[in-house]
């Protein structure tokens, strides 16, 4: 404990001003039940809870600590600006990270200066490769500070493997996988037991080091120890493509080399299964919500259209069932049957599952008497319309409607009638499924129908593969829309009479004012 203290949640600094207390709280390796009693109490009492995350916004620390949240606390998400050494920051990677830590520390200092108690969450132990230590170095000299230790990932891994780390006078060496392979090999050869952390992209180099040290046959791989996604396997059998950052390589005590490994299985849910229809958003992981990420990680089995299922990182614990795009009813029935047998099933859907996607297909089949007892939940996702709109500004800023040009499940006459009605009502229109390999004429037909009610200069946004490396966004006009440039990966936004295109110093923007002319 550092700094001066008084009873209650505040202390006085040298000037007599009341300031808050800073706590670095270790959460252990992942199981919320391995959070210490003291850590749980402090989390519940805190005014402010801070946690680190990558740009996707998901925080493992937050998910572990959430059962102990009070519910009305201030949350400070400290989001790393970079997660690899690739950056355009003038100071390079280290410059970007130093600037981030400094700015994060000042955000927390503002709460401490206001007399609030601040808890910074840290996976494992705060001072054992923990992200908290960077806040500690910047704030502990200014405010009353306490570090609450937690169970380390190394201890958690040894527990799930079920092998002692060290005995008697043996030595344990803890190494970061970021070291050069030759350095790792030298240290592994010279120690009794070892734990190598920070795997992920470093895994192949680490495996090479174990091989060069002659220790590969003794080594174990542990992924997400103590959680539902836990995996334990001999290191030599692990596919590098399946290794996440939160994993480690373990070299247990050589004295117990003949002892069998526990190979603890993930804890499975009790009771009946369920189906959760999960929206993946329009593209990769940055568009995925924390709720969706949680449901995907918790599932026993995944069901979905092959390309969408491929977006979900592989987890050997889970079974995958990929299908073609035109068998939605069969896919839904299969998922419900799996859940009926006791599995927790995630049905994946691009964008939002309730927008021309799998939610209605699953619910339609779920309403059949044979599936009456199977629970179904829907987890929303970012829609393609909102993703495309965000790239140009706010074209959906006023009333709008969403239409699909596909006539596979409804007659074209119905589609055409709805286009005319939306155009006559002066709604902004988001158009899904504008074309496919077998449907190439509807875009031109739609343009002609809209021109019956809309000015030829009406703004049109063509977004293609937004969020992917192939992304392109074009702003044109209704009269200038080229149907040949529209394919099955596109979404169209057709403006209303009030939609504006404006040129700014930072580039062109498209927006629809919130006020409508009287």
pLDDT at 55: 75
User: What SS3 string covers 181-201?
Assistant: HHHHHHHHHHCCEEEEECCHH
DSSP reduced 3-state for 171: coil
Residues 330, 336 contacting (CB under 8 angstroms): no
Query: Which contiguous run of DSSP H or E holds residue 491?
Result: strand 490-494
Which of 460, 459, 402 lies closest to 433, judged by CA?
402
The count of C-alpha atoms lying within 13 angstroms of the C-alpha of 243, restricted to the half-sphere facing its C-beta, is: 26
pLDDT at 265: 40
Residues 116, 108 contacting (CB under 8 angstroms): no
Structural domains of the chain sorted by starting position, each given as residue range(s) with its CATH number in brackets: 10-150 (3.40.1010.10), 154-256 (3.30.950.10), 274-382 (3.40.1010.10), 385-511 (3.30.950.10)
Contacts of 225 (CB under 8 A, 6+ apart): 29, 30, 153, 156, 157, 159, 160, 248
Instruction: Classify residue 356 by its DSSP letter.
Output: S
> What's the pLDDT tens digit per position in 130-163?
889 999 999 999 999 999 999 999 999 999 998 8
Query: Which contiguous run of DSSP H or E holds residue 321?
Result: strand 319-323
DSSP string of 60-117, one letter each residue:
HHHHHHGGG--SS-EEEEEE-S-SSS----TTHHHHHHHHHHHHHHHHHHHHHHTT--
Contacts of 83 (CB under 8 A, 6+ apart): 54, 55
- What are the distances in angstroms from CA 95 to CA 90, 92, 138? 7, 5, 16
Give the ranges where 341-434 is alpha helix by DSSP (H): 358-366, 384-392, 412-424
Pairing state of beta strands 459-464 and 472-477? antiparallel
Q: What is the pLDDT along the chain (518 residues), one digit of tens a residue?
A: 444 443 346 665 555 557 899 999 999 999 999 999 999 999 999 999 999 988 777 788 999 999 999 989 999 999 888 755 566 677 777 888 889 999 999 999 999 999 999 999 999 999 999 889 999 999 999 999 999 999 999 999 999 998 899 998 899 999 999 999 999 999 999 999 999 999 988 999 999 999 999 999 999 999 989 887 788 999 999 988 888 888 999 999 887 555 555 544 433 343 458 999 999 999 888 888 989 988 998 888 999 998 898 888 887 778 889 887 778 889 999 999 999 988 899 999 999 999 999 999 999 999 999 999 999 999 999 999 999 999 999 999 999 999 999 888 889 999 999 999 999 999 999 999 998 877 889 999 999 999 999 999 999 999 999 988 889 999 999 999 999 999 989 999 999 999 999 999 888 999 999 998 87
CA distance 109 to 144: 12
Which of 152, 322, 173, 136 lies closest to 246, judged by CA?
152
Contacts of 437 (CB under 8 A, 6+ apart): 488
CA 422 to chain centre: 36
Pairing state of beta strands 507-511 and 500-504? antiparallel
Reading the block at residue 46, the tokens are 């805190």
Contacts of 306 (CB under 8 A, 6+ apart): 322, 323, 324
pLDDT at 447: 95
pLDDT at 17: 59
Residues 142, 47 contacting (CB under 8 angstroms): no
């Amino acid at each position: 404990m550092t700094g001066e203290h008084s009873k209650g949640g505040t202390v006085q600094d040298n000037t007599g001003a009341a300031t808050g207390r800073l706590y670095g709280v270790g959460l252990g390796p992942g199981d919320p039940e391995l959070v210490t009693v003291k850590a749980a109490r402090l989390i519940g009492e805190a005014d402010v809870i801070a946690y680190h995350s990558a740009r996707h916004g998901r925080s493992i620390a937050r998910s572990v600590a959430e059962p102990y949240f009070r519910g009305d606390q201030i949350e400070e998400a400290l989001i790393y600006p970079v997660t690899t050494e690739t950056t355009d920051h003038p100071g390079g990677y280290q410059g970007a990270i130093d600037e981030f830590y400094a700015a994060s520390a000042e955000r927390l200092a503002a709460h401490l200066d206001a007399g609030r108690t601040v808890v910074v969450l840290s996976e494992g132990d705060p001072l054992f490769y923990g992200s908290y230590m960077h806040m500690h170095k910047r704030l502990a000299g200014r405010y009353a500070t306490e570090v609450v230790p937690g169970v380390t990932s190394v201890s958690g891994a040894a527990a799930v493997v079920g092998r002692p780390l060290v005995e008697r006078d043996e030595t344990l060496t803890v190494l970061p996988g970021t070291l050069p392979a030759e350095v790792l090999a030298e240290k592994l050869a010279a120690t009794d037991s070892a734990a190598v952390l920070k795997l992920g992209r470093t895994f192949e180099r680490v495996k090479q080091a174990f091989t060069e040290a002659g220790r590969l046959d003794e080594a174990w791989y542990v992924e997400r120890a103590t959680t539902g996604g836990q995996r334990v396997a001999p290191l030599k059998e692990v596919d590098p493509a399946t290794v996440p950052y939160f994993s480690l390589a373990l070299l247990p005590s050589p004295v117990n080399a003949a002892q069998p490994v526990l190979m603890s299985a993930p804890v499975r849910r009790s009771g009946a299964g369920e189906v959760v229809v999960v929206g993946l958003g329009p593209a990769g992981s940055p568009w995925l919500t924390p709720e969706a990420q949680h449901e995907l990680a918790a599932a026993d089995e995944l069901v979905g259209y092959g390309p969408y299922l491929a977006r979900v990182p592989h987890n050997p614990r889970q079974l995958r069932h990929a299908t073609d795009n035109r068998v939605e009813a069969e896919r839904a029935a299969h998922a419900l049957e799996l859940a009926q047998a006791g599995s927790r099933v995630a049905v994946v859907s691009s964008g939002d599952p309730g927008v021309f996607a799998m939610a209605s297909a699953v619910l339609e089949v779920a309403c059949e008497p044979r599936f009456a007892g199977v629970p179904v939940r829907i987890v929303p996702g970012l829609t393609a319309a909102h993703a495309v709109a965000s790239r140009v500004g706010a074209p959906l800023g006023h009333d709008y409607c969403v239409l699909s040009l596909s006539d596979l499940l409804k007659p074209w006459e119905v589609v055409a009638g709805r286009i005319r009605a939306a155009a006559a009502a002066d709604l902004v229109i988001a158009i899904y499924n504008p074309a496919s390999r077998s449907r190439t004429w509807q875009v031109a037909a739609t343009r002609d129908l809209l021109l019956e009610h809309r000015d030829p200069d009406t703004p049109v946004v063509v977004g293609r593969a937004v969020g992917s490396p192939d992304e392109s966004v074009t702003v044109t006009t209704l009269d200038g829309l080229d149907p040949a440039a529209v394919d099955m990966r596109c979404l169209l936004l057709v403006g209303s009479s009030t939609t504006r295109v404006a040129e700014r110093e930072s580039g062109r923007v498209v927006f629809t004012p919130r006020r409508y002319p009287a």
